[in-house]
């Protein structure tokens, strides 16, 4: 039988005392006031703290430096405005030349800028450089006889161009071993007329002031503003845009988006329709100009004879003492840089020179130059080759000229033996005597003609006798 | 010295370095000197530093009397003197020519115009100084016995360009007890500065190329471009103003001071009234505390309440400049805000019957879009004042030139964007950057704090990304900050 039990009535919950009746814990004893560290201790603590956090902060800031470096690198390398590396077009020309290419479009080149950039960018100092006007631009590696040659001549060069071209090399610590200077007569003319507007007058003033000690109005340029462009974000952005636009393009554009038309010469350089700049700095005229007939050349010489003085010699009556001093100082300066100076007097076309002899009063200064240079070279043992007077150069003829002013390589070969031969002559002390040549400075009188005729006759007789012997 | 210049960064770096090199007790005084050096850097500002010093001295003396005196009359007199001085300076330098025209119109005479140079940060430091006097009067702020501490508050250089408008009770404890150097704070501050520069120079300045192009020739623009420019101007204004505030807050943070946050994701507002609690917070709260509440605030009948709202917005519009277009902008904002309050109950009832509002996200999206468009609509007045355009011409022009449909309109906008200089990769960059900014700042998130919680690698990747964006796409040498002129 099942036993029924009642469900127990729930009892009231009993409160459990979980903790015994214990006395309240004693209040903690009042902590003794902390002693404030001494002033010195606090000072050193502050110092250490500052050094620690300063170092930490600097380290984190240094992590951002690569951004700045990248920015500067891009701005300097691309340099779309040519602030640091020169304008884009000349830079392209120099880049091509340094890669060994001849470059097209010589007529459009800023030759002075090319020279400047070459001096800046050429990795190895050329052994020989040439300076002068367009009358030296035919000097090339073959004629000079040295592979390491660069022709720094520029069209219309005045004395400032001559000197600053060399000075640029020196400022970049690239002074050459040998300097060939084709001395033009206007180098000794002290008038403004002797100056070319394209020459870098500021650099010349710097050269005069800093090197030759001649006082000028030269002021040291503020380069801070220029270098600020390196950290200028806007310039950085412009350079990035320019780089992206021109990367991998055949046609390069300048800062204004104009096409830069300087490209490597393709095909035979001697068969070009336009004048080209050779990789050694010399100039190769276009085929038509090089292959003119004698009549054409004579016509050009005749035209040049009419405008002779307009080439930097308007009113050239006397050699300037200032220019003479500058010339001498320059030669001394080049010697002090360890450079051997070879002076060259490039001849004028026979027709032109003869024409000038008919009006010597109009070219007094011009006719003084060569004799003075010869005297100077003789006194200072400076090698001198060539002569303004074509009659003084054996074998030179009218076909050895392009026009009235410019002598062809065939003509140059007739008076310039090449740098190795010159250096050897210096070593062996067998340099030709500059005073052995006497250029004509006036037309021969009747007596002179008779004497000359007699002498010529005597020499002819002697030669005949030698041949017979 | 513009904030976007390297000079400013250099100045700030030197100040920060010397600031932390000094003992803490000397730091407020050094900062005061730095503030005045900053102020006097521009030669045209040098004589006007006296105005700043004068306003500081006047409000400090008045505050001292108000705080110490037990005579209510004296307290009121000095409060009025302080307000009169502050508002007088503001009226004289900013509104003289407008007042002269008004007086001339009333009297029929000619009151000469003055060719005055407005002191740098005039609206900001006068409002900061006025708030101190009123707070002392209302006993919301203790009187400041140290003139130099107070002067440091009024002239604090990070806030001098575009605010925020600080309150002394907020800054006082920070001045009294300068913080110790904290690397974390400084790193956060530095990122805030970078963030601000990115917003300003990458987004705002690039957008301004297009908007200024459109608003300076509104008559020759078609509807699609006017509409696009109005919309983009709203984004530009936000990026410009909030970017500058980010820089100011970042600079102050590095120096050990926390300033008032001026923006709180305003484009996420779901009502026009809410928008104004998130946009230019320091100014709207200033107007709320010192104009809206004294007018009766919300504790009065509905018509008066709405009128109070409109008055506050009209004054706010005038604060931006002595130009009827700013006045109209304030009025438009006030009317829209009042209308929103007036119709809030009815709209709430209608929401129940709107099927689109059943999904919260959809409701939020629609409301946010509507608030944004309302803001854009009012900004036409603002932009017109800024670029000296005819706002009614712009409004009328927006509805014209849609003949070719949406496709042709889009082509027209795209062409003009391209012509104005926003070409190449820039449109994509601007779109992505804007989206990133809005996403990063969503829900009032502090970007500076968020980035401090990331790993070293991610953090520095982001630093580099921001710096790269700034470097590659920043518009350098562009205009000053829009709010700088106010």
Q: Which residue has the higher pLDDT, A108 or A468?
A: A108
CB A139 within 8 A of CB A415: no
Residue A293 class from Cβ within 10 Å (0-12 exposed, 13-18 middle, 19+ buried)? exposed
Helix H or strand E encompassing A284: strand A283-284
Q: At what angle do helices B49-68 and B72-107 cross, to 10 degrees?
A: 140
In A299-422 the beta strands, taken as DSSP E runs, fall at: 340-345, 384-386
In angstroms, how far is CA B305 from the centroid of its own chain? Answer: 25
Burial B111-121 (b: 16+ CB within 10 A, else e): beeeeeebbbb
Q: Which residue has tokens 């062809």?
A: A408
pLDDT at res. A442: 80
pLDDT at A448: 56
**pLDDT given at position B26:** 92
CATH fold of A125-232+267-442 reads Rossmann fold (3.40.50)
Minimal Cβ distance to B471: which of A53, A57, A67: A67
Decide if B187 and A60 are in contact by the 8 Å CB cutoff. Answer: yes
Q: ipTM score here? A: 0.73
pLDDT at A338: 94
Q: Report how far apart, in Å, the C-alpha atoms of A178 and of each of A269, A375, A385, B325 are.
A: 27, 21, 14, 77
Interchain contact, B463 vs A50, CB within 8 Å: no
Q: Are the C-beta atoms of B289 and B297 separated by less than 8 Å?
A: no
Q: Which two tokens stand for residue B182?
A: 């904290």
Question: What six digits make up the tokens of B206?
Answer: 């690039």
CB contact under 8 A, B181 and A237: no
Label residues B386-421 b or e (16+ Cβ within 10 Å = b).
bbebebeebbebbeebeeeeeeebeebbeebbeebe
Mean pLDDT of all residues in A398-409:
92
Average pLDDT of the segment spanning A372-379: 94
Q: A190: which residues sit within 8 A by CB, 6+ positions away?
A: A320, A321, A322, A323
Query: A142: number of CA atoms within 13 Å, CB side?
Result: 8
Taking only the tens place, the pLDDT of each residue in B340-371 is 999 988 888 888 888 888 888 898 999 999 99
Say if residue A4's pLDDT is above 60: no
Contact A233 B471 (CB under 8 A): yes
CB distance A276 to A104 below 8 Å: yes
| pLDDT given at position A453 | 47
Read off the pTM. Answer: 0.70
Q: Does the pLDDT value for residue A462 go beyond 70?
A: no
Provide, as residue numbers in chain B, all residues whose Cβ is less than 8 Å from the Cβ of A234.
476-477
Contacts with B186 from chain A: Cβ below 8 Å: 57
pLDDT digit of tens for each residue in chain B (486 aa)? 778 888 888 999 999 999 998 988 999 999 999 999 999 998 888 888 999 999 999 999 999 999 998 889 999 999 999 999 999 998 888 888 878 887 887 887 777 777 778 888 888 899 999 999 999 999 998 999 999 999 999 999 999 888 799 999 999 999 998 888 888 888 889 999 999 999 999 999 999 989 999 999 888 888 899 999 999 999 999 999 999 999 999 999 999 999 999 999 999 999 999 999 999 999 999 999 999 999 988 888 888 999 999 999 999 998 888 788 999 999 999 999 999 999 988 888 888 888 888 888 898 999 999 999 999 999 999 999 988 889 999 999 999 888 888 888 888 898 888 888 887 788 888 888 899 888 888 888 888 888 888 888 888 888 888 888 888 888 876 556 666 655
Number of A–B residue contacts, CB under 8 Å:
34
Structure tokens at A106: 């010589």
Paired sense of beta strands A252-253 and A259-260, if any = antiparallel
Candidates B200, B205, B424, B476: best to mutate against A (most CBs of A within 10 A) is: B476
Pairwise pLDDT comparison (A243 vs B50), residue with the higher score:
B50
**Structure confidence by residue, pLDDT tens digits, A322-361:** 899 889 999 999 999 999 999 999 999 999 999 999 888 8
Sheet holding A178-182, edge to edge: A149-151, A128-131, A178-182, A340-345, A384-386
pLDDT of residue B98: 78
pLDDT of amino acid B481: 60
Does the beta-carbon distance from B186 to A240 stay under 8 Å? Answer: no
Model confidence pLDDT, tens digit, residues B385-443: 988 889 999 999 999 888 888 888 888 898 888 888 887 788 888 888 899 888 888 88
Q: Would the pLDDT of A455 be above 50? A: no
Minimal Cβ distance to B20: which of A50, A67, A234: A50
The pLDDT tens digits for B442-470 are: 888 888 888 888 888 888 888 888 888 88
Report chain B residues touching chain A, CB-CB < 8 A. 6, 20-21, 23, 181, 183, 186-187, 460, 463-464, 467-468, 470-472, 474, 476-477
Cα(B375)–Cα(B475) distance, integer angstroms: 26
Q: In the structure encoding, which two tokens stand for residue B433, read together?
A: 């950057």
Asked if A231's CB is within 8 angstroms of B464's CB, the reply is: no
CA–CA distance, A135 with A138 (Å, rounded to integer): 7
Alpha-carbon distances of A183 from A347, A384, A385, rounded to whole Å: 11, 10, 11
pLDDT tens column, A390-400: 999 999 999 99
Structure confidence at residue A446 (pLDDT) = 58
Asked if the Cβ–Cβ distance from B460 to A57 is below 8 Å, we say no
Instruction: Label residue A393 exposed, middle or buried (CB < 10 Å: 0-12, 13-18, 19+).
Output: buried
Which residues of chain A does B10 touch, with a Cβ-Cβ cutoff of 8 Å?
Answer: none
- The residues spanned by each domain of chain B are 6-178, 185-476
In Å, how far is A243's CA from the nearest CA of chain B? Answer: 13
> What does pLDDT average to over chain A?
84
Name the minimum distance, in Å, from the CA of A234 to any CA of chain B.
6
Choose among B20, B467, B476: nearest Cβ to A67. Answer: B467
In this model, does residue A255 exceed pLDDT 80?
no
Residue-level pLDDT at A456: 45
Is residue A134's pLDDT more than 80? yes
Per residue, the 3-state secondary structure of chain B, as one string, reads CCCCCHHHHHHHHHHHHHHHHCCHHHHHHHHHHHHHHHHHCCHHHCCCHHHHHHHHHHHHHHHHHHHHCCCHHHHHHHHHHHHHHHHHHHHHHHHHHHHHHHHHHHHCCCCCCCCCCCCCCHHHHHHHHHHHHHHHHCCCCCCCCCHHHHHHHHCCHHHCCCCCCCCHHHHHHHHHCCCCCCHHHHHHHHHHHHHHHHHHHHHHHHHHHHHHHHHHCHHHCCHHHHHHHHHHHHHHHHHHHHHHHHHHHHHHHHCCCCCCCCCCCHHHCCCHHHHHHHCCHHHHHHHHHHHHCCCCCCCCCHHHHHHHHHHHHHHHHHHCCCCHHHHHHHHHHHHHHHHHHHCHHHHHHHHCCCHHHHCHHHHHHHHHHHHHHHHHHHHHHHHHHHHCCCHHHHHHHHCCCCCCHHHHHHHHHHHHHHHHCCCCCHHHHHHHHHHHHHHHCHHHCCHHHHHHCCCHHHHHHHHHHHHHHHHHHCCCCCCCCHHHHC
CB contact under 8 A, A233 and B20: no
């Amino acid at each position: 039988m099942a036993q029924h039990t009642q469900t127990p009535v729930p009892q009231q919950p009993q409160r459990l005392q979980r903790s015994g009746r214990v006395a309240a814990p004693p209040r903690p004893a009042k902590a003794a006031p902390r002693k404030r560290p001494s002033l010195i201790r606090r000072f050193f603590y502050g110092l250490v703290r500052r050094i620690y956090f300063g170092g930490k902060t600097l380290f984190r800031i240094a992590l951002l430096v690569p951004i700045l470096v990248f920015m500067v690198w891009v701005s300097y390398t691309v340099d779309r405005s040519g602030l640091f590396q020169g304008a884009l077009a000349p830079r392209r020309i120099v880049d091509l030349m340094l890669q060994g290419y001849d470059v097209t479009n010589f007529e459009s080149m800023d030759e002075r800028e090319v020279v400047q950039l070459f001096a800046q960018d050429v990795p190895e100092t050329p052994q020989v450089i040439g300076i002068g006007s367009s009358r030296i631009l035919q000097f090339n590696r073959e004629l000079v006889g040295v592979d390491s040659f660069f022709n720094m001549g520029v069209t219309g060069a005045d004395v400032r161009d001559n000197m600053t071209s060399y000075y640029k090399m020196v400022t970049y610590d690239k002074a050459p071993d040998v300097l060939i200077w084709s001395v033009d007569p206007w180098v000794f003319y002290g008038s403004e007329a002797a100056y070319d507007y394209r020459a870098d007058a500021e650099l010349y003033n710097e050269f005069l002031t800093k090197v030759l000690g001649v006082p000028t109005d030269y002021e040291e340029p503020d380069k801070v503003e220029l270098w600020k462009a390196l950290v200028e974000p806007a310039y950085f952005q412009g350079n990035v845009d320019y780089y992206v636009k021109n990367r991998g393009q055949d046609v390069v554009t300048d800062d204004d988006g104009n096409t830069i038309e300087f490209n490597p010469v393709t095909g035979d350089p001697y068969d070009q329709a336009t004048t080209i700049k050779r990789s050694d700095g010399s100039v190769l005229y276009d085929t038509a100009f090089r292959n003119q007939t004698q009549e054409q050349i004579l016509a050009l010489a005749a035209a040049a004879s009419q405008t002779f003085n307009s080439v930097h010699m308007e009113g050239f009556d006397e050699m300037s003492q200032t220019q003479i001093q500058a010339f001498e100082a320059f030669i001394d300066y080049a010697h002090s840089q360890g450079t051997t100076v070879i002076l060259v007097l490039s001849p004028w076309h026979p027709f032109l020179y003869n024409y000038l002899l008919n009006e010597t009063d109009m070219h007094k200064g011009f006719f003084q130059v060569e004799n003075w240079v010869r005297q100077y070279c003789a006194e200072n043992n400076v090698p001198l080759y060539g002569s303004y007077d074509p009659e003084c150069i054996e074998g030179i003829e009218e076909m050895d000229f392009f026009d009235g002013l410019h002598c062809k390589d065939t003509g140059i070969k007739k008076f310039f033996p090449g740098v190795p031969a010159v250096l050897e002559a210096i070593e062996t002390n067998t340099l030709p005597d500059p005073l052995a040549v006497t250029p004509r400075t006036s037309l021969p009188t009747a007596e002179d003609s008779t004497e000359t005729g007699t002498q010529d006759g005597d020499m002819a007789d002697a030669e005949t006798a030698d041949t017979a012997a | 010295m513009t904030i976007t210049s390297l000079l400013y960064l250099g100045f700030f770096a030197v100040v920060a370095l010397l600031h932390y090199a000094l003992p803490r007790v000397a730091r407020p005084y050094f900062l005061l000197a730095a503030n005045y050096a900053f102020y006097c850097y521009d030669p045209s500002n040098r004589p006007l530093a006296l105005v700043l010093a004068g306003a500081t001295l006047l409000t400090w003396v008045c505050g001292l009397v108000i705080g110490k005196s037990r005579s209510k009359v004296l307290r009121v007199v000095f409060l009025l003197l302080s307000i009169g001085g502050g508002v007088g300076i503001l009226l004289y330098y900013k509104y003289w020519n407008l007042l002269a025209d008004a007086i001339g119109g009333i009297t029929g005479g000619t009151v000469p115009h003055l060719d005055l140079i407005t002191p740098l940060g005039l609206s900001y430091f006068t409002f900061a100084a006025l708030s101190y006097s009123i707070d002392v009067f209302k006993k919301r702020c203790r009187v400041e016995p140290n003139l130099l501490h107070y002067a440091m508050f009024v002239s604090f250089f990070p806030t001098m360009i575009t605010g925020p408008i600080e309150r002394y009770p907020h800054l006082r404890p920070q001045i009294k007890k300068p913080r110790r150097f904290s690397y974390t704070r400084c790193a956060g501050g530095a990122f805030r500065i970078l963030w601000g520069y990115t917003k300003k120079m990458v987004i705002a300045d690039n957008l301004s190329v297009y908007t200024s192009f459109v608003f300076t020739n509104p008559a020759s623009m078609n509807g699609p471009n006017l509409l696009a420019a109005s919309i983009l101007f709203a984004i530009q204004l936000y990026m410009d103003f909030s970017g500058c505030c980010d820089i100011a807050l970042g600079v102050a943070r590095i120096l050990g001071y926390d300033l008032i946050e001026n923006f709180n994701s305003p484009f996420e507002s779901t009502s026009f009234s809410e928008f104004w609690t998130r946009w230019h917070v320091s100014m709207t709260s200033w107007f709320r505390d010192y104009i809206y509440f004294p007018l009766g605030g919300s504790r009065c009948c509905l018509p008066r309440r709405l009128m109070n709202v409109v008055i506050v917005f009209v004054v706010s519009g005038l604060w931006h400049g002595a130009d009827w277009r700013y006045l109209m902008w304030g009025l438009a904002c006030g009317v829209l805000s009042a209308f929103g309050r007036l119709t809030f109950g009815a709209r709430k009832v209608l929401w129940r019957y709107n099927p689109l509002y059943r999904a919260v996200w959809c409701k939020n999206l629609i409301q946010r879009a509507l608030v944004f468009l309302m803001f854009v609509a009012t900004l036409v007045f603002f932009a017109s004042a800024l670029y000296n355009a005819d706002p009614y011409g712009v409004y009328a022009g927006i509805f014209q030139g849609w003949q070719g449909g949406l496709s042709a309109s889009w082509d027209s906008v795209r062409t003009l964007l391209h012509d104005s200089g926003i070409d190449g990769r820039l449109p994509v960059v601007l779109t992505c950057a804007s989206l990133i900014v809005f996403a990063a700042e969503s829900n009032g998130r502090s970007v500076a704090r968020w980035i401090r919680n990331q790993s070293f690698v991610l953090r520095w990747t982001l630093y580099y990304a921001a710096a790269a964006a700034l470097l590659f796409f920043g518009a350098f040498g562009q205009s000053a900050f829009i709010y700088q002129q106010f």
